[in-house]
Amino acid sequence: MATENLSERVSRGEAAAVARAISKIEDGSSGAAALMKEIYQRSRGALVIGITGAPGAGKSSLVDKLALFYRQAGERVGIVAVDPSSPFSGGAILGDRIRMQALGLDDGVFIRSMATRGNLGGLARATVDAVAILDAAGYAKIIVETVGVGQDEVEVVKAADVSVVVLVPGMGDDIQAIKAGIMEIGDIFVINKADKEGLYATEKELESLLSLASRGDGWDPPIVKTVATENQGVADLARAIESFCQAQLGARVSSERRLAIARWRIVELLRESLLSRVLATDASVAMLNRLADEVATRRRDPYSAVEEIIQAAER
Amino acid sequence: MATENLSERVSRGEAAAVARAISKIEDGSSGAAALMKEIYQRSRGALVIGITGAPGAGKSSLVDKLALFYRQAGERVGIVAVDPSSPFSGGAILGDRIRMQALGLDDGVFIRSMATRGNLGGLARATVDAVAILDAAGYAKIIVETVGVGQDEVEVVKAADVSVVVLVPGMGDDIQAIKAGIMEIGDIFVINKADKEGLYATEKELESLLSLASRGDGWDPPIVKTVATENQGVADLARAIESFCQAQLGARVSSERRLAIARWRIVELLRESLLSRVLATDASVAMLNRLADEVATRRRDPYSAVEEIIQAAER
């Protein structure tokens, strides 16, 4: 009953209900699956924009300015910042607090940081569920921001309708390292801090990398130059996003992409569900702890430990 | 039989056997579990050094120079570079090829890049297994290099005996973002490219961050300044690593850390095993594909899709 009420309140766009729903799926609490089944029935087809880039590329500023742009066009905007526990990612709490000052008093904007949930994993799944909740709540544009390094983070960006990769000038030494992966992930490239030295070189190198790629969908990823802190180029980015979405409408590649995303989402969720089921009882957790001790002291290898857990679960 | 021979050949230190064994565990082929059980019995207790840092911090140069340092001391060195599919990570193949020129003709050094294995995951598990294989093969120092952003990558570094975080001068704007996580992960901090502008400010900021941390093991993480390309400070880093290992010998915190690592390894492997078992048959893969299509076209939500797969597996 409480769950029914919660999903109803989410679909009425109540911010407090959205926050509670996201916490519920982040905790992996028992009602989460039931809630999400209802949430998915209430999906409205928001545009999901993934924005990724190395630390220091100015992603947060760019995301905030893009959100303001959509707000000025009268749209409600959701922002999900993925914050893996890492020395190089921004701090979730600090980040939220700073942002609240600029955007948070506007109730047409909902900002949420998603943090790592410890060694049971599930950050990518929780992020995708948070997006579904924001969609059900009527946020028409949902921006997912990640530090674009790491398997989970890349998957999250791939799961967006459009993926934006943010670079900065002066990546000269490193642009060699920006190899094949970038072609796959970026629908649109932004060179932010475009007033800094090295713009021309970075742009040329990026162009030559892009010219080597063949995407198979006829889309030619544009390079948009921005100075997010000065609000320069943000409208250009919004236009590029719009163009990409128009180009993808009904395209064959686009439906293949949706299929790959759906498959990935099921597999992620399946992986998590199977693990929770096996580790659901106190006895199984005790067994895990005993085996961990044996592995730590080299009396046993992890593979035979896993076999023992699976055999016990099957009994 | 083939597996027995392979683990024997690994333990004799044959590079070709090591390469084949790593490929086997990377592919997740059927003999992988049997192989790894034998490999773990042959472990020799190598020192595993995790090195992480943002793109452009010069990790690869530092790793190469540290490897050369150990080689000159007569030790065999294994290098495992974790390469998640990402626009910001170095290219596995290109990277290997360049490195081969400097180190690869030396048969006391084994270099391997581990790449993302698609949406069945397992990069972290495969990396840890690769380290175990190198250990069994008698590489006394094993260096695991990752771009330190992302859940899996951080876990891999945590699983090392000693974790080194590499920074560069001039991270001023971003050092605010280097928050709590860094305290947890770094046993030793390196400021590489220490001949660049901004060294003093970065060092001061790092010191003040470190002064706020309490590790609970009495270890005070040192800051080592290096210019890897000029081979400066590499011996200092090796000394800091040695000091940390001495300090950890028999420490209570150290055994808690080993326990946490063992637990994480079992959980990772369990997660992967459970998924492989459920998706082992052609029928289950066909079911996954059908459900993915239904989810992609919004006829179904991922949660009920997962329930259907689990129910089918239990029948």
- CB environment A280-314: b (16+ within 10 A), e (fewer): eeeeeeebbeebbbbbbeeebbbbebbbbbeeebe
Using DSSP's 3-state secondary structure scheme, residue B55 falls into coil
In this structure, what token pair is assigned to residue A105? 């008093």
Q: What is the dihedral of CA B62, B67, B69, B74, to 10 degrees?
A: 180
Q: State yes or no: pLDDT of A94 exceeds 50.
A: no
| Chain B nearest-CA residue for A273 | B306
Q: What is the dihedral of CA A107, A110, A111, A114, to 10 degrees?
A: 150
The pLDDT tens digits of the residues spanning A118-142 come to 434 577 788 889 999 999 999 999 9
- What Cα–Cα distance (Å) separates residue B132 from each residue in B45, B155, B158, B159? 9, 16, 15, 12
DSSP state of B52: E
The pLDDT tens digits of the residues spanning A149-160 come to 555 666 777 778
> Per residue, what are the HEC states of chain A?
CHHHHHHHHHHCCCHHHHHHHHHHHHHCCCCHHHHHHHHHHCCCCCEEEEEEECCCCCHHHHHHHHHHHHHHCCCCEEEEEEECCCCCCCCHHHHHHHHHHHHHCCCCEEEEEEECCHHHCCHHHHHHHHHHHHHHCCCCEEEEEEECCCHHHHHHHHCCCEEEEEECCCCHHHHCCCCHHHHHHCCEEEECCCCCCCHHHHHHHHHHHHHHCCCCCCCCCCEEECEHHHCECHHHHHHHHHHHHHHHCCCHHHHHHHHHHHHHHHHHHHHHHHHHHHCCCHHHHHHHHHHHHHHHCCCCCHHHHHHHHHHHHHC
Q: What is the pLDDT of residue B179?
A: 47
| Chain B nearest-CA residue for A35 | B303
In this structure, what token pair is assigned to residue A283? 């006895």
Chain B interface includes A153 (CB < 8 A) = yes
Q: What is the pLDDT of residue B93?
A: 38
Q: What is the pLDDT of residue B171?
A: 59
Q: What is the dihedral of CA A45, A48, B151, B180, to 10 degrees?
A: -120
- CB environment B247-284: b (16+ within 10 A), e (fewer): ebeeeeebeebbbebbbbbbbbbbbbbbbeebbeeeee
In chain A, where the domains are located: 44-253, 279-314
Contact A94 B179 (CB under 8 A): yes
| Chain B nearest-CA residue for A182 | B87
Contact A37 B153 (CB under 8 A): no
Distance from CA of A278 to the nearest CA of B (A): 9
Token pair 């080597």: residue: A212
- Which residues 249-278 of B have a C-beta within 8 angstroms of A? 255, 258-259, 261-275, 277-278
DSSP state of B79: E
| Chain B nearest-CA residue for A132 | B301
Q: What is the pLDDT of residue B304?
A: 93
The pLDDT tens digits of the residues spanning B88-120 come to 333 443 455 455 555 656 778 998 888 755 434
Using CB atoms, which residue from A33, A267, A292 is nearest to B262?
A292
Distance from CA of B29 to the nearest CA of A (A): 14
Q: Which residue has the higher pLDDT, B231 or A210?
A: B231
CB-based contact A155:B84 (threshold 8 Å):
no
Please state the pTM of the whole predicted model: 0.76
Q: How far apart are CA A129 and CA A135, in angstroms?
A: 10
Q: What is the pLDDT of residue B287?
A: 96
**Mean pLDDT score across all residues of chain A:** 82
**Winning range, highest mean pLDDT, from A93-102, A237-246, B178-187:** A237-246
Q: How far apart are CA B20 and CA B9, in angstroms?
A: 10
Chain B interface includes A177 (CB < 8 A) = yes
Mean pLDDT by 10 residues, chain B (315 residues): 78 93 83 90 92 79 93 93 53 46 71 65 81 96 78 70 86 49 77 89 84 77 94 97 88 78 89 90 94 92 94 88
Q: State yes or no: pLDDT of A213 exceeds 50.
A: yes
What amino acid occupies position B236?
D
- Which residues of chain B are within 8 Å of residue A314 when distances are taken between CB atoms? none
Q: What is the pLDDT of residue A92?
A: 42
Distance from CA of B235 to the nearest CA of A (A): 25
Q: What is the pLDDT of residue B119?
A: 39
Distance from CA of A103 to the nearest CA of B (A): 20
Using DSSP's 3-state secondary structure scheme, residue B313 falls into helix
Complex ipTM: 0.79
Strands B77-83 and B141-147: parallel
Q: How far apart are CA A157 and CA A142, in angstroms?
A: 12
If you average pLDDT over residues A249-257, what whole number do you get?
Answer: 75
Distance from CA of A162 to the nearest CA of B (A): 16
Distance from CA of A130 to the nearest CA of B (A): 14
Strands B162-167 and B188-191: parallel
Using CB atoms, which residue from B53, B149, B258 is nearest to A296?
B258
The pLDDT tens digits of the residues spanning B118-169 come to 434 577 788 889 999 999 999 999 999 886 555 566 677 777 899 998 888 8
- Which residues 8-67 of A have a C-beta within 8 angstroms of B? 33, 36-37, 39-41, 43, 52-56
Fold of B43-254: Rossmann fold (3.40.50)
- What Cα–Cα distance (Å) separates residue B204 from each residue in A88, A275, A310, B223, B247? 18, 44, 50, 10, 25
Which of A106, A243, A111, A86 shows the shortest CA–CA distance to A164?
A: A243
- Which residues of chain B are within 8 Å of residue A304 when distances are taken between CB atoms? 37
What sections of chain B are H helices per DSSP? Answer: 2-11, 15-27, 32-41, 59-72, 92-99, 123-136, 151-158, 180-185, 199-212, 234-248, 252-278, 282-296, 302-314
Chain B interface includes A92 (CB < 8 A) = no
Q: Which CATH number fits domain A44-253: 3.40.50.300, 3.30.70.20, 3.30.420.40, 3.40.50.720?
A: 3.40.50.300
